[in-house]
Amino acid sequence: HAKAFTVGINCALGAAQMKKFYKMLVDMNLGWCHVYPNAGLPNAMGGYDEDPEIFSTNIFDYAKDGLLNFVGGCCGTFPSHIAAVANKVKDCPPRKLPELPKYPCMQLSGLEPCILTPDSGFQWVGERCNLMGSAKFKKLVDAYKWDE
């Protein structure tokens, strides 16, 4: 597979609400990451209430935690929001990329990550499971009891 230039999250949430999801993405990704949140959540009139100061303060929380490689804004953001972010994070270093191992592991994903190392042995990946056919099987899957 080609290595993605950047992986990120765009739209749907404001920066404050998006941070926990973005942090999970950053923790799983060995490459650059980006975030383009909205100016908060939509209000009753369909607009967005975060002004440039609030928006940039929320983005600064990402930068001070070392999470940013690229940042922008989506719904409800204007050039003034982006200028405020640029000013607020200008002294923050970008997220440092993790050092890659000499022989990287294969990483697959479905409902949860599957990381295969040279000593993992044989693994079933993508085996079909019919949760509708057995109530007992569905309960075991819901309880993460993979070995039973």
- Within a domain: 24: yes
pLDDT band at 2 (very low <50, low <70, confident <90, very high): low
Give the rounded percent of residues in the chain with a pLDDT score beyond 70. Answer: 92
Q: Identify whether the C-beta of residue 86 lies closer than 8 Å to the C-beta of residue 117.
A: no
Which whole number is the average pLDDT over 11-37? 93
Domain count, the chain: 2
Helix (H, G, I), strand (E, B) or coil at 59: helix
Residues 79 and 24 in one domain: yes
**Annotated binding site, which residues?**
11, 74-75
- Within a domain: 100: no
Does 1 score more than 60 pLDDT?
no
Residues 85 and 119 in one domain: no
**Annotated binding site for Zn(2+), which residues?**
11, 74-75
Residues 137 and 73 in one domain: no
pLDDT, tens digit (0-9, with 9 covering 90-100), for 87-124: 999 999 999 988 877 777 787 776 777 888 888 888 77
Does 26 score more than 90 pLDDT?
yes
Residues β-bridged to residue 33: 7
Question: pTM (2 decimals)?
Answer: 0.67
Q: How many CB atoms lie within 10 A of CB 77?
A: 22
Residues 70 and 31 in one domain: yes
pLDDT for the residue 140:
85
Domain that residue 110 falls in: 106-142
Which whole number is the average pLDDT over 8-12? 92
Residues 112 and 83 in one domain: no
Residues 27 and 85 in one domain: yes
Report residue 18 as tokens.
Answer: 């998006």
pLDDT for the residue 126:
63
Residues 116 and 52 in one domain: no
pLDDT, tens digit (0-9, with 9 covering 90-100), for 51-85: 999 999 999 999 999 999 999 999 999 999 999 99
Residues 66 and 26 in one domain: yes
Q: Give the distance from CA 17 to its chain's centroid.
A: 12
Residues 85 and 120 in one domain: no
Q: How many CB atoms lie within 10 A of CB 98?
A: 11
